[in-house]
Structure 1
Amino acid sequence: MASASSSRYTRDTFALKQKAMKYYSENGIPSKMEQILNTMFYDDPSDVHGYLVNYFSQFTLEAVISKLSATQVYGSTGMPTIQTDAFCTVNNKEKKIISSTIPCTNIKAKPDDREKAEIESQHSVVAALKAINTEISDALKGLNPKQQNEIDKILLSIIERMKSEETARKAHEDEAIENPSPIIPTEEKDKKKSAKGKGGKASAPLVIIPDRPLEVFTAGSEAVAAVSQAVCACAAIANNIPIYRHVGNLSRTKGALHEFRIPLPMVTIIQSGKSVPGKVNCVKEYMLVPGVSMTTEKSIEHIQHIYHYVAKSLATKLGPTAKFVNESGALCPQLETPTQALDMLQEAVNAQGLTIGEDMYLAINAAGHEFFDHDKGRYEVITGTLKSPDDMVDFWGDIVLKYPALIAIIDPLRGEDNESWLLLGERISDGVFVIGDRFFHRPGLVSQTPPSSPIQTSGAVLYVEQMNSITDLVQCANLFHGLNNEVVISTNQGDTTDTFIVDFAVGLGARFLKVGGPRRGERSCKLNRLIEISRELEPPLPSEESSHEEDENAADGKKEDDPNEDETKFEEGEQKIDVDNDTEEKSERKEREVVALEEDHEEKDNAPLLWGAEEKSRLKLHAPFVFPVIEIPAPPPDTEREGEEGKPSSPSSKHGK
């Protein structure tokens, strides 16, 4: 006879087995095991366990963030920046998915304030590291990295709270400081004041529009770009898709999600400006842009050859000092005039057997804010040569006329010189992209307050830096695309070897990728990744227009074969209508069907076209350059006056681009 303890053990064991059977049944384990074991027997794979892993991986939960770990690294200029490691829980284990590095923040300060700005930037990086490793990591734990919008909102809210705390702390410190004693004017200052008051004519006051105040970022704001970029890359890697494909899923609201175009590289060959020896201040970068019909691989190969040709030419004409290469990988000769560099580039392009203005184009980054003399209220285009904002309109107009291959000018003037900017845009925008860089606020602010219409640019430069989240950049890019503006994604001066920016530009559908010079490791990585993506993409399918033309040609051919076919159909249709007594009802029904069909088509046009997860992404070809014309808005009727001067004449359009 069984003892009481053994019977209790039997009951407990039976109950446990019942629980196990229920647990496995609820998760579908028995049926899945039966299915895969039967299939595997016939497939007879060489790696049995790998076969099982591949099968069950389709049922695993999506990766979720477990923690973030940030460390300090250095960019190409030696300035500190942030590397963020994203860890996720995958198959019940914590695993590092991606290590992402953002470039050093572009320091936008006057030369006198640069040292102070660099120190503040270093302190800000330290604050960002602390925030990422503690508060941000805890806040994002358990979230799916695909939730980019929600994650970016959390990041911005944390930084905004840090900013509020910093503002309150500074206000408290200011209150604690006693009011300083009044400054007694010195004898020397009194003499200067009295000297000003004595005799002499007082010159007319010079009205200068001050620079728009730069946004003040709180220490640690770099955490937004660092984490946002890391999360975006993490989501792509965790789901086994390229980063550009994931960015395409985030950014596209219409069109085919599996079609991607490779942005045209904007490569700096020569650099000048106030920070480089030489007289030319009005151009910071002289760039090359390949034509739309040239393959990415071939265009980068030609650009490298042109760069080396220019380097050898400079060494021969201007001496060894011309071979100096700066931190962006560009050549820095001592130039006397801007046309000197443009002529050299045209000569180098022709020397490669290419046609300037067809195979290869020119572009300029003027950086108008950098060569404006605030004391004199003029632009110092060349050392000792000053021009007013109105004079700059003629200056750039002459440059554009002289060089038809020039297709883009970035920041030709300060954004504050609004009237002159509009005059210049109306004069040259029919053949050149007038692109804004410093012209625009931070992308997050642009998305909140979109530019007024008509917009004053035909392109905008965007960076992944500081408080620029991926969501803000995506929204801003879509906004500019809607305004018929081209998007330029740009690397930073203090770049790293991380190639996220290239995938981001491809996924975003940017027209141009501004990469700096073609030398140095951090620049070559970007160009190599561009070539790699172009090789991954399948060739484009025949366009709908060409297939539509083929259908029309086929229909025309059929019509010629049987000219009486249409007449026969018409007669049959006529006879059928005569027999039908409910013609009015049928007509109404047909009308409703047409309306429903149009609405369905409209809905499909506005929605993104999905495709299978395993389908290969395809290359989308660039359309020829089309330059949106910038026009000065017409004045309101009540301000119109007789004898008002007409608009400045516009130069003839440059064709063949």
Structure 2
Amino acid sequence: MSTSTRIANLHAREILDSRGNPTLAVTLVLESGLEAGAAVPSGASTGTNEAVELRDGDLARYGGKGVLAAIRGVEGPIASVLRGHDVCDQVALDHAMIALDGTPNKGRLGANAILGVSMAAARAASVVEGVPLYQQLGGEEACLLPMPSMNVLNGGKHADSGLDFQEFMIVPLGAPTFAEALRYGAETYAAIRSILHKGGFKTAVGDEGGFAPALENNEAACELIVEAIEAAGYRPGEDIAIALDPAASSFGEGGIYNLARAGQGRLDRTAMLALYGRWINSYPIVSIEDGFAEDDWQGFTELTAAQGQRIQVMGDDITVTNPNFIQNAIDLKAMNAVLIKLNQIGTVTETVEAVALCRKVGWRTMVSHRSGETNDDFIADFAVACRAGQMKCGAPCRGERLAKYNRVLDIERALGKRAIFTNPFANA
């Protein structure tokens, strides 16, 4: 191991995410003097079993959300353990941090501190090896570009709208290239804005860039999207489809789902299954993520049994990018796809393991941003590296969202004829 690949030091600082809350940026320094950095996102709608962010709890600073303790962890114990480590051995340095933390949920040092170092190390390794990050992580086979799911209407915890469901997304599955997919999405997003404006609705956007209108009910959002797809000159279901993330943990408990925000009352598990069935029959829906609460394994299993041959049934809060929970989902046949978020598990290595487990059983994966984002575009490279085939980064709006989409455009250009872009729902 040469001095050019050995870690010399780590630095961290407090920055602001897209919601104006503090988060962590980490800089890794090699003995050669080379530096690489990463910024860590933060979620608003989080699963109970996610790895734990370390927050200061000092109400005199940022309402208790400061990350000075996480910074001390990076620059103190983590730096002490990793000095001299080979930055190109991602697995070894990630496991060294996991062992140092010593808790099942990274609660001592914080998943935000550990992930910032893990991501910065991957970036440094790509510079040392002289290859793009997606190739450093994924090798020569990293050529599959992700199909974007763009959040165009926000509700739930992501916006103060009349919608119980958190995300209504468009999927440009008929596009021949990623660049064209982005164009399909941007044009449809513009059509939604125009329709809302003409209808007298506000066109303010939520945390992830989607519009947050006070619609009559959740179903009205699907009707609006279909109208916008057609207004933009596309065919619903053929050029552009719909994906949903109800984030049902935010309105479900004990098998009962309260859709009172949009005036639909309290529904039991059976009624929710029926609602999804009606929507799938009525609208070009190809994916439902977190259609039931994170503890409602029966709901997921019944939805998969009923609709899994027609749509993608995806877990997020229920699986939290954790191989143990994903394995349980596999054993129960509770879904056929898993959302992948680096900060849910806390290291690059464990995230790769989660994707590999899904691939082993033929399940789809979608790499995802968080509602509290930065301009760091790491997940764009990561989605290509692990051949996820799908990615969601929010609306084609707001700089922290566009940074990811624009990075995939750069990767597509760099790959040239080697780039692969396919419809992951073609064989559904």
Q: Give the TM-score of the pair, scaled to structure 1.
A: 0.60
Which residue pairs with 2:233 in the alignment?
A: 353
Give 1:221 deviation, angstroms.
Answer: 3.3
Please state which structure has a larger fraction of its residues in helix: 1
User: Equivalent residue for 1:267?
Assistant: 150
Provide the C-alpha distance between the structure 2 equivalents of 1:308 and 1:623, rounded to a whole number of angstroms: 23
Pick one of 331, 343, 349 that aligns with 1:453.
Answer: 331
Indicate yes or no: 2:12 matched with 1:70.
yes
Equivalence for 2:322: 443
CA distance in structure 2 between the partners assigned to 1:466 and 1:119 by the alignment = 20
CA distance in 2, matches of 1:536, 1:259: 12
Contact preservation (8 Å) 1:285, 1:366: yes
Deviation at 1:107, TM superposition (A): 5.7
C-alpha contact (below 8 Å) 2:253/2:293 kept by paired residues? no
Pair 1:304 & 2:194 matched: no
| 2:311 counterpart letter in structure 1 | V
* Alpha-carbon distance in structure 2 between the residues aligned to 1:373 and 1:453: 23
2:118 corresponds in structure 1 to: 228
What is the distance in 2 between the residues matched to 1:60 and 1:419? Answer: 53
Report whether the alignment pairs 1:108 with 2:108. Answer: no
Offset, 1:62: 4.5
Which structure's relative contact order is higher, taking Cα pairs within 8 Å and 6+ residues apart? 2
Closer, same or farther in 2 for the Cα pair 1:107/1:363, shift >3 Å?
closer
Check whether the contact 2:178–2:421 (CA below 8 A) recurs between aligned residues. no
Cα distance in 1, alignment partners of residues 183 and 424 from structure 2: 22
| Equivalent pair of 2:146/2:391 in contact (CA under 8 Å) | yes
The letter for the 1-side match of 2:295 is E
Report the CA distance between 1:525 and its aligned residue: 0.9
2: CA distance, partners of 1:102 / 1:287: 24
- The question of whether the paired residues in 2 share the 8 Å contact of 1:222 and 1:467 is answered with no
Aligned-partner Cα distance in 2 for 1:423–1:315: 39
Displacement of 1:99 in angstroms is 2.0
Equivalent pair of 2:366/2:390 in contact (CA under 8 Å): yes
Give a deviation string over 1:593-623, Cα, whole Å, max 9, x none. Answer: xxxxxxxxxxxxxxxxxxxxxxxxx223426
Map 1:161-560 onto structure 2 (within 5 A): 217-218=107-108, 220-249=110-139, 257-273=140-156, 276-281=159-164, 283-291=165-173, 293-319=175-201, 322-372=202-252, 377-380=256-259, 382-383=262-263, 385-403=265-283, 405-443=284-322, 445-446=324-325, 451-453=329-331, 455-465=333-343, 467-539=345-417
Q: How far is the alpha carbon of 1:237 from its aligned partner?
A: 1.2
Q: Matched residues in 2 for 1:627 and 1:358: separation?
A: 13
State the Cα distance separating 1:357 from its structure 2 match.
1.2
Letter matched to residue 168 of structure 2: Y
| 1:181 match | none
**Structure 1 unaligned regions, length at least 5:** 1-58, 111-116, 165-214, 250-256, 540-617, 629-657
Contact 1:455/1:483 (CA < 8 Å) preserved in 2? no
1:396 partner letter: Y
Structure 1 SS opposite 2:288? strand
1:254 aligned residue: none
Q: Are 1:124 and 1:218, in contact at CA under 8 Å, matched by a contact in 2?
A: no
CA distance in 1: counterparts of 2:320 and 2:42, whole angstroms: 19
Aligned residues: 418
Contact kept, 8 Å, 1:488 with 1:514, in 2: the verdict is: yes
SS at match of 1:260: coil
Structure 1 counterpart of 2:425, from 619, 625, 633: 625
Matches within 5 A, 1:559-570: none
Deviations 1:491-545 (A, max 9, x none): 0111000111100111011121110122111111111111111111131xxxxxx
How much is the aligned-residue C-alpha RMSD, in angstroms? 2.7
Contact 1:101–1:498 (8 Å) recurs in 2:
yes
Q: Which residue type is aligned with residue 289 of structure 1? A: V
Matched with 1:29 is none
Query: 1:95 corresponds to which residue?
Result: 34
- d(CA) in 2 for partners of 1:625, 1:258: 21
Q: CA deviation at 1:75?
A: 0.5
Q: CA deviation at 1:344?
A: 1.6
Seen in structure 2, the aligned counterparts of structure 1 residues 423 and 107 have a Cα distance that, compared at 3 Å, is closer
Contact residue 444 and residue 468 of structure 1 kept, 8 A: no
Max Rg structure = 1
Contact 1:429 1:627 in 2 (8 A): no
Name the SS for the 1:538 alignment partner: helix
Cα pair 1:70 1:129 within 8 Å, conserved? yes
Aligned to 2:94: 152
Secondary structure of residue in 1 paired with 2:170: strand
CA contact (8 A) 2:285 2:311 kept: yes
Q: In 1, distance between residues paired with 2:426 and 2:184?
A: 24
